[in-house]
Structure 1
Amino acid sequence: MKTRYYIYIALALLIGYLVYNKFYSPKGKEVMANNASKKGKRKTGPVPVDVMIVKDTVLNNSIDVTGTIDANEQVNLTSEAAGNIIAIYFKEGSRVQKGQLLVKVYDKDLVASLKQNEYQVALAKQNEYRNSILLQKEAISKQEYDTSLTSLQTLTAQGEVIKAQIAKTEVRAPFSGTIGLRNVSPGGYLVPGATIASLVNIDPAKITFSVPERYLELIKVGSRINFTVESSREKFAAKVYAIEPAIDLTSRTVTVRAEAPNPKDMLRAGGFAKINLALDQIPKTIMVPTQCIIPDLKSSIVYVAHNGQALAKPVQTDLRTDTKIQVIQGLEQGDSVIVSGIIQLRPKVPVKIMKVIK
């Protein structure tokens, strides 16, 4: 038992020596003082930050929407007459001019009927002329002359009907444009209403899109838009020329249509357009980088460098762009808004300005 007590006493003396040596001896006190000094320096050292000097800037208010590219004119070519196709006068994908003959349907029977009619009209004219002279000499009655005149007029009208039927055997381009892939072949039987090919005029192109009802007052005929398409890296411009008078009850949007020049055929009908629509311009406002704004319970705050310290200012924001946000209340010109190191900031934390962003 005594041996155990001696061991406990020895351990207690050893622990006491170690504690004294670490905390109460002159060397231990010096080490603790040095550690405390280093910790104090880390706590009170200034946070390096970049700042931006607040100034009034011009803000172009715009929204991004999506739209569809439509052709200026587009139609499926069809024939009014039925019959065998005797000739096709266009190449697929080629340019055609307004009035150009594209397809011809068999019409020899109609041409023969027209020639027969022309002979009959010529004979009827002679008969009408003779009867007019006889009527002047009172050799025939007025009724006999009227019968010959009516016969002439009837045959002339029949000739016009035949000419109209012959015209229907010709399919011509209703406007200038690019013709698509044909669905018929020479010698095939063409049924009225069957699609021969599509004809598209896409210069200028039409851009159709919708915007929310709240922006209706800001959109006018003549407003400019910029847009891009998936098939090209170029940026295109267009001008609004028509606005739908009624608002869509389901989406609460209004449909707008703009016109874009397309001389190089870079825009295709049915394409998808990403549109940037300029609404208005604010000549004087304050814009700060989005990362400066820190959401708070009731509002938002930004940190401003003031007298070597971080000062928290509540602000009110409005419009946003890709990288900046508009501050409509809480900042003044000349304020040094902190734009970096924000995660380390607290009110009255010392700061050291490393860079001033203009």
Structure 2
Amino acid sequence: MKTRYIIYIVLALLVAFLVYNKFFSKHAKETKTATAGKGKKKNGPVAVNVMIVHDTTVVNQIDITGTVDANEKVNLVSQTAGAVTGIYFKEGQRVSKGQLLVKVYNQDLQASLAQVQAQLALAKDINRRNEILVQKEAISKEEYETSKSSYAAYQAQVANIRAQISRTEVRAPFSGVIGLRSISPGGYLSPNTPIATLVNIDPAKVTFSVPERYLPLIKVGSKVNFTIESSQDVFGATVYAIEPALDAVSRTITVRAKAPNAKNLLTAGAFAKINLTLDQIPKTIMVPTEAVIPDLKSSKVYVYHDGKALAKDVKTDLRTDTKIQIVDGLKSGDSVVVSGLIQIRPKAPLKVLKVIK
């Protein structure tokens, strides 16, 4: 029993020593004094950088994506069926409009044409003689009309056969570069058999979509700059056509521009990164994005005024990668705080480290 009391007394003394050492010893008092001194120390000014804003000219641009298309593109096919008797182009060759590319068997039509042309020549002579005779009243008018009708019928037959022959010849509908052929001499060609692809890509067409909000700023004649993965060059194009209706799903409008391609650097189907110039704002204020503090109702910035931070509500509009347009709330010459914003409160003293002009 006495042993237990002794243990209690020892524990009580130990606790008393720890409490004294914590709160009443010389070291504890020094620590308390130092902490109190720090708490009473007055906060100094916040070190910041400021930018003197001024009116500047801003080009309103947006970056979008699009596709490079051929100016003209067609899959060549034959209008009639038959054996291929001639191929008159090389793959990858540039061809001219109207140039003969492929010929299908037409000897039977050529023979029919020769026969009808002979009959046409005879009918022409008969009709010419009858025209003279009818004027001399040597034959009746009915005989002359019959020969005239026969002559016209043979003319129609010749035109019909020539039309059939023309369908056995595949010619280039426009000038361009012809692709890889999928036929061979002697093979059977039907109207469903693809021959090759003919492409004209000078100029090239660039097709892209623009959000509805920019529709009033897009017009025929607007300039477009774009790049492609296969070239380091920056290409220029001019808008020439705008779709008259918005896409109901994406709420965008399709725009098409033409780009010169004399060096043949653009390829149909290429992915285009487009920089579209919408308009130019001749006089406005732009500040770094980090200088604008978003709020529930508006946005604000801090202005350096008489050594202190002055909060100003501002109205913003255009944004770029690094800056934002201020359309109301600032004037040229204001010193906008662009750093140390987390530590700033209204009317807080400021120390300017750097002035950006």
| Normalised TM-score (structure 2) | 0.87
Aligned to 1:279: 278
Alpha-carbon distance in structure 2 between the residues aligned to 1:93 and 1:5:
105
Partner secondary structure for residue 62 of structure 2: strand
Matched, 1:158 2:162: no
User: Which stretch shifts more, 82-91 or 241-250?
Assistant: 241-250
Partner secondary structure for residue 231 of structure 2: coil
Aligned to 1:289: 288
Matched, 1:332 2:331: yes
User: Which stretch shifts more, 84-93 or 192-201?
Assistant: 192-201
Deviation at 1:354, TM superposition (A): 1.9
Alpha-carbon distance in structure 2 between the residues aligned to 1:61 and 1:17:
70
Q: 1:29-68 maps to which residues of 2 (within 5 A)?
A: 29=30, 33=33, 36-37=36-37, 44-68=43-67
- Deviations 1:105-126, CA, capped at 9 Å, x for gaps: 1121222222222222222233
Amino acid at match of 2:45: P
Aligned to 2:237: 238
Amino acid at match of 1:278: T
Indicate if the aligned counterparts of 1:176 and 1:201 stay in contact, CA closer than 8 A. yes
Partner secondary structure for residue 116 of structure 1: helix
Deviation at 1:325, TM superposition (A): 0.9
Deviation at 1:18, TM superposition (A): 7.1
CA spacing shift, 1:339–1:113, aligned 2, 3 Å: same
Aligned to 1:147: 146
- Deviations 1:126-151, CA, capped at 9 Å, x for gaps: 33344344444544333223323322
CA spacing shift, 1:156–1:92, aligned 2, 3 Å: same
Matched, 1:198 2:197: yes
CA spacing shift, 1:16–1:137, aligned 2, 3 Å: closer
CA spacing shift, 1:238–1:9, aligned 2, 3 Å: closer
Alpha-carbon distance in structure 1 between the residues aligned to 2:128 and 2:296:
103
Aligned to 1:353: 352
Partner secondary structure for residue 214 of structure 1: helix
Alpha-carbon distance in structure 2 between the residues aligned to 1:211 and 1:15:
75
CA spacing shift, 1:255–1:16, aligned 2, 3 Å: closer
Q: 1:206-355 maps to which residues of 2 (within 5 A)?
A: 206-355=205-354
Partner secondary structure for residue 123 of structure 2: helix
Alpha-carbon distance in structure 2 between the residues aligned to 1:126 and 1:219:
67
Amino acid at match of 1:244: E
Deviation at 1:320, TM superposition (A): 0.9
Match 2:26 to one of 22, 25, 28: 22
CA spacing shift, 1:230–1:10, aligned 2, 3 Å: closer
Alpha-carbon distance in structure 2 between the residues aligned to 1:266 and 1:197:
22
Alpha-carbon distance in structure 2 between the residues aligned to 1:105 and 1:274:
44
Deviation at 1:40, TM superposition (A): 5.7
Q: CA RMSD in A?
A: 2.8
Amino acid at match of 1:338: V
Aligned to 2:76: 77
Deviation at 1:20, TM superposition (A): 4.2
| Normalised TM-score (structure 1) | 0.87
Alpha-carbon distance in structure 1 between the residues aligned to 2:176 and 2:354:
59
Indicate if the aligned counterparts of 1:204 and 1:260 stay in contact, CA closer than 8 A. yes
Matched, 1:187 2:191: no
Alpha-carbon distance in structure 2 between the residues aligned to 1:161 and 1:278:
55
Indicate if the aligned counterparts of 1:243 and 1:256 stay in contact, CA closer than 8 A. yes
Amino acid at match of 1:237: G
Percent identity, please.
63
Partner secondary structure for residue 87 of structure 1: strand
User: Which stretch shifts more, 81-90 or 217-226?
Assistant: 217-226
Aligned to 2:166: 167
Amino acid at match of 1:205: A
Indicate if the aligned counterparts of 1:44 and 1:350 stay in contact, CA closer than 8 A. no
Alpha-carbon distance in structure 2 between the residues aligned to 1:120 and 1:298:
93
CA spacing shift, 1:110–1:335, aligned 2, 3 Å: same
Partner secondary structure for residue 44 of structure 1: coil
Alpha-carbon distance in structure 1 between the residues aligned to 2:136 and 2:335:
114
Deviation at 1:58, TM superposition (A): 1.4
Alpha-carbon distance in structure 1 between the residues aligned to 2:18 and 2:291:
57
Partner secondary structure for residue 326 of structure 1: strand
Alpha-carbon distance in structure 2 between the residues aligned to 1:10 and 1:151:
140
Amino acid at match of 1:113: S
CA spacing shift, 1:178–1:274, aligned 2, 3 Å: same
Indicate if the aligned counterparts of 1:75 and 1:199 stay in contact, CA closer than 8 A. yes
Matched, 1:112 2:122: no
Indicate if the aligned counterparts of 1:71 and 1:201 stay in contact, CA closer than 8 A. yes
Uncovered stretches (5+) of structure 2, i.e. residues with no partner: none
Partner secondary structure for residue 113 of structure 1: helix
Aligned to 1:126: 125
Aligned to 2:90: 91
- Deviations 1:42-90, CA, capped at 9 Å, x for gaps: x623333221111111122233333332221111112112211111111
